[in-house]
Chain A
Amino acid sequence: MAAFFLLVALVGAALGYWFNGSAVFGIFIAAVIALIYISVMVGRSTEVVMNMNHAREIHSATEAPQLWHVVEDMAMVASVPMPRVFIIDDPSPNAFATGNDPQHAAVAATTGLLQLMNREELEAVMGHEMSHVRNYDIRLQTIALALSAAITALVNFAGNFWWLGGGRSRDDDEDSEIGVLAIFGSILLVILAPLAASIAQMVLSRNREYLADAGSVELTRNPQGMIAALRKLENVQPMKQADPNSSALYITDPEKNAKHKRWFAHLFDTHPPLEDRIKRIEEM
């Protein structure tokens, strides 16, 4: 998390230096933007995240009885309040949880998940999501998501500004070697920052997945259900409309198999390989 804030500050510094000659000014602006993003996200994370992922809320058991009842069960046994429940119209099976704390949590499942899974497997998946809720992973992920979005916004802003012909005046006689180096460095940083942000987000996410799998088994007392659910999630089609910034939230990577991954692409994996997750449960 600290790395994240550092990254925001660095981007700010680079942009500030670039446009205004003052790194401190840039850091200040970046901090303000990051704070705005975090407060908006933490306050309204459910709405924002659900909108980004085209989810619609259901309000009663009649709309999706099994999902609603399973979520009720898992909330009860995890001793957390009933979260809001959302459905995403997508044939690819997936699910995620979001929110700020267990009192303001929400879970979402795709229609594909509801079709593919039987009750025990759905319990395992929702148990996994409730573990994220109970462990406050959702808040961590929400803030990480806000910071990535803030970095993206800063960089986009810088890009637009640059194309519009803005930028630091070249007239001041600072074009010493150090100045050139600093400008070059800050350009490089601005290009690499979004990458670094996603790597940081992914590392944060991967270990949490193992924990949530184990937490789910603790709730359902049914490791077979979790294993069966994870097996069904292998080799499925990627989701159509998942928001790339939120992929860390999902139970499996929604963009998996979207393209052939080269080895370095695994740096960006938000989730450990499913085989490893299954193996860890089998060993429990």
Chain B
Amino acid sequence: MNTTTIIILVVIVLLIAWGILIYNNLVNQRTHVQESWSQIDVQLQRRNDLIPNLVETVKGYSKHEADTLSKVTSLRAELSHVPADDHQQKMAVANQLTGALQSLIAVSENYPDLKASTEYSQLMEELSNTENKISYSRQLYNSTAANYNAKIQTFPANLIAGLGHFTKIDFLKAPEAAKQAPKVSFSDVK
């Protein structure tokens, strides 16, 4: 082998190694986004598990809120029927559910006995905890997705991204109401 062949071989090996590094990096970043989605999913599930309890408790104290309650219950059912990999759709339903829960909390304010019960205040802490975790994990999802999206569009990673079918990930939308107030909060309900 002459020197030229050796140099060419070395360059090729280096190029391949470099490509593998970038590829692995992209896979890692994509995994991060997927991990943050599973965070959201866990919290959505937790909230769904809380709802029957909440509905029962509210029912016990308030006779005239059937509409609000049934809206929460039906959205909860709808959420569990969204296909697991349709993140956008799942988040859209979840956001509606957040809104329905907020109006449920709002009407509950009219029932002093309900507000005073320990069961209700425990449920409220659980609920605000889950709501906050949903919004923080969505924030995490969006920021990891933003990093990943930026990465696959910048040279030279975009070459590898094209070869490896790495596609852009859409951001998750926050609930409508949350655009005015920065964070969903039930914090004043103690």
> Which A residues fall within an 8 A CB radius of B?
65-66, 69-70, 72-73, 76-77, 79, 118-120, 123, 220-222, 224-225
A120 in contact with B183 (CB, 8 Å) = yes
A118 in contact with B188 (CB, 8 Å) = yes
Task: Say yes or no for B108: interface residue by CB 8 A criterion.
Answer: no
Nearest CB of chain B from residue A94's CB, rounded to whole Å: 20
Q: 5 tightest A-B contacts by CB?
A: A119-B187, A69-B129, A77-B136, A65-B125, A222-B182
Question: When chains A and B are docked, how far (Å) is the Cα of A90 from the Cα of B120?
Answer: 29
Question: When chains A and B are docked, how far (Å) is the Cα of A66 from the Cα of B122?
Answer: 10
A222 in contact with B125 (CB, 8 Å) = no
Task: Say yes or no for B132: interface residue by CB 8 A criterion.
Answer: yes
Question: When chains A and B are docked, how far (Å) is the Cα of A220 from the Cα of B135?
Answer: 10
Task: Say yes or no for B25: interface residue by CB 8 A criterion.
Answer: no
Question: When chains A and B are docked, how far (Å) is the Cα of A192 from the Cα of B53?
Answer: 64
Question: When chains A and B are docked, how far (Å) is the Cα of A120 from the Cα of B128?
Answer: 11
Residues of B within 8 A of A220 (CB): 183
> Which B residues fall within an 8 A CB radius of A?
39, 122, 125, 128-129, 132-133, 136-137, 139-140, 182-183, 185, 187-188
B39 in contact with A76 (CB, 8 Å) = yes
Interface centre among A77, A118, A120, A123, by most B CB within 10 Å?
Answer: A77
B125 in contact with A77 (CB, 8 Å) = no
Residues of A within 8 A of B185 (CB): 119-120
Given A120-B185, A221-B182, A222-B183, residue A73 in contact with residue B136 (CB < 8 A): yes
Contact of A76 among B128, B136, B182 (CB under 8 A): B136
Question: When chains A and B are docked, how far (Å) is the Cα of A10 from the Cα of B104?
Answer: 67
Nearest residue in A to B144 (C-beta to C-beta)? Answer: A79
Nearest CB of chain B from residue A69's CB, rounded to whole Å: 4
Q: What are 20 pairs between A and B in contact, CB < 8 Å?
A: A65-B125, A69-B128, A69-B132, A69-B133, A72-B129, A72-B133, A73-B136, A76-B133, A76-B140, A77-B136, A77-B137, A77-B139, A118-B187, A119-B132, A120-B183, A120-B185, A120-B187, A222-B182, A222-B183, A224-B182
